[in-house]
Structure 1
């Protein structure tokens, strides 16, 4: 009886979600989730309207608490919402921002009530952009070597130093950063997590142009930047714990579990292959070798999705290392798809600009190039394998002397 009641409630919610989406999602945006990633610099009236509607509804953060503007939905309801968004080609325009994927969840984990009230509602509504200040010129994979200083200046904190690879810093309103508040402490101690207002002349950003043509990463310089005394997230000098938790949220956001309507290309590789490489009399991809590799990629994607669902079903309170497995799996699936897409398109997949190439073809080559970074950002492929070997498989540390 309980199961029947639950199913009836979910179906009632499905009808509610379907009606709301049909009334609010602009049909012109169907299957164009990639626009959400470029919205900071790309102005589109339909996209702005959709962003505002889903933000006010709270469904861009469906499981976040209602008291902070979130949807307050159960995980089961969030899955139904995702299914209904996928059905009509809708996407969540906020799931590509660090406010929703990293900073917001970490504030919900460690923030004071005042911090939650100040920061979570604007994130939910998509009114602010956030960046994360972690890596430094001499502190990348060895993040605990960071040296950006944060000193007590009486009624405020004073911050000096630099960060690198700061995604979206040039567009951001706020930065969540790891800083050194006690330089005399041990390497992993004396680090704090601080929330910094980016709108101050003491902060300078310099975009780094990448091979794909975009400049999503920056060098970011702090020269006597300031933050109020209540800007520390979590405990003073205990920021390493907060920082690790944010990385878990980041890796979870990179596993393919991007919440309702992740967006992206809606074209199936098999259909693309038939269009560019041809089909045989049976309607299959004409080239048997290409057909095999497309099917293998589809199988890998399906296995990744099932593993993702299993991890979510088995998740318990607290930290989980499953994100490391899923992050590497998502990287493999995405990069393999990008390689196959370019191979399928042939010379049409190598264009950079011009009328001889469709928008889909131009996006494919840029996506292939930018996707190379997936193996590096958010913890490199090799670092994730180390985590998997030590913390999940329990293998011995091979880096010590023998």
Structure 2
């Protein structure tokens, strides 16, 4: 096998990073096994350790090579791809992974429902078999980017005669088939990156089922753990909300008071500890799939984003009183940092909901990491159809 840097050299020699269109360059990167080097050969990887991906990314970024549009296809890159490698059929892997990495096909996530947000296992959207197809009816909510998506990862109930965790099945859904209605959900920021999605008689072929019938919870758990790693484990020092604040500190002497200095150092240290913990978590992934520890990363990220965005308002209170155009827009990406400090403060409120609420993260940490007694669950062991609602 050629050396990793030799592969990067060959990619750059055959595809000029300054003139090659993004989709073509990323497709070639995938074909060279440089998309996710820890994925298997033939699926955008080389079967190497996860940590070696930084060798590829650093080199490509240094020469200004096109990069995946993470902001627009975060669900695909961070959640659908690792789930597809873990549970998808070979046909699925060959069909979806390359265009997913090239971002020519955008993905969204159809998990949460109005009555099953924090309790994902309580989803009521039904998928009923009909020959070699499934007919899906139900409603999903808080679907980021559904208005831009080509495909969705979907969890639906296929058996109501068993307890809630056992009756779920996981599918890939084409977002342009008949029976799908997407409605915007306007947020406190004025934007509508979230959506509610109505499914009425939507037909999915059984070849688009991921994993076995009734094992949707197992597949979804892998997806969610990868999501929480992606949300909570940034790998750049002073990225995110703390990066915005430190930039302001360096360029504006007026904010450099002793009190502000003490608070800035407190939050810089906490976010740096979280970053380093994320590095350790990613190294732990070398020996297995993400575990419940990823919930701690997500919880810490949400708390810090909200606190640091509030501190940014304290540094610039006059800027917090102004706001950009509040007319509703349907953004192409869900930006956590866009616009001014007022926008960042409001947008950060969603961090403790998306990807699993902070309350649920605390339960997971308590029960599955610390080994504390679980909460009482009155629906445990009861068939889903018999649970009062």
Into which bin does the TM-score normalised by the smaller protein fall? 0.7 to 0.9
CA contact (8 A) 1:14 1:81 kept: no
C-alpha deviations, 1:87-137, integer Å up to 9, x for none? Answer: 789895433321111111111100111111111111121111111111112
Structure 1, unaligned runs of 5 or more: 1-8, 27-47, 279-284, 355-359
CA distance in 2, matches of 1:109, 1:391: 22
Match of 2:42, SS state, is helix
Judged with a 3 Å threshold, the aligned counterparts in structure 2 of structure 1 residues 375 and 293 are, in CA distance, closer, same or farther, namely same
Indicate whether 1:56 and 2:28 are aligned.
yes
CA contact (8 A) 2:241 2:309 kept: no
2:226 matched residue in structure 1? 249
| TM-score under structure 2 length normalisation | 0.81
Cα drift, residue 273 of structure 1: 2.3
Judged with a 3 Å threshold, the aligned counterparts in structure 2 of structure 1 residues 52 and 287 are, in CA distance, closer, same or farther, namely farther
1:24 to 17, 35, 57: 17
Q: How many residues align?
A: 358
CA contact (8 A) 2:237 2:272 kept: no
Cα drift, residue 264 of structure 1: 5.5
1:107 to 84, 92, 97: 84
Residues 48-87 of structure 1: pairs in structure 2 closer than 5 A: 49-50=21-22, 52-58=24-30, 59=34, 61-70=36-45, 74-83=49-58
1:44 matched residue in structure 2? none
2:282 matched residue in structure 1? 312
Cα drift, residue 184 of structure 1: 2.1
Match of 2:108, SS state, is strand
Structure 2, unaligned runs of 5 or more: 326-336, 379-389
| TM-score under structure 1 length normalisation | 0.78
Judged with a 3 Å threshold, the aligned counterparts in structure 2 of structure 1 residues 400 and 155 are, in CA distance, closer, same or farther, namely closer
Judged with a 3 Å threshold, the aligned counterparts in structure 2 of structure 1 residues 66 and 214 are, in CA distance, closer, same or farther, namely farther
CA distance in 1, matches of 2:105, 2:267: 37
2:267 matched residue in structure 1? 297
Match of 1:80, SS state, is helix
CA distance in 1, matches of 2:261, 2:202: 56
1:40 matched residue in structure 2? none
C-alpha deviations, 1:297-348, integer Å up to 9, x for none? Answer: 1111211122112223334224522101111122233223322222222212
2:381 matched residue in structure 1? none
Residues 128-167 of structure 1: pairs in structure 2 closer than 5 A: 128-167=105-144
C-alpha deviations, 1:358-386, integer Å up to 9, x for none? Answer: xx983432222111111111111111111
Q: CA RMSD in A?
A: 3.3
C-alpha deviations, 1:199-226, integer Å up to 9, x for none? Answer: 1231100010101121111111111111
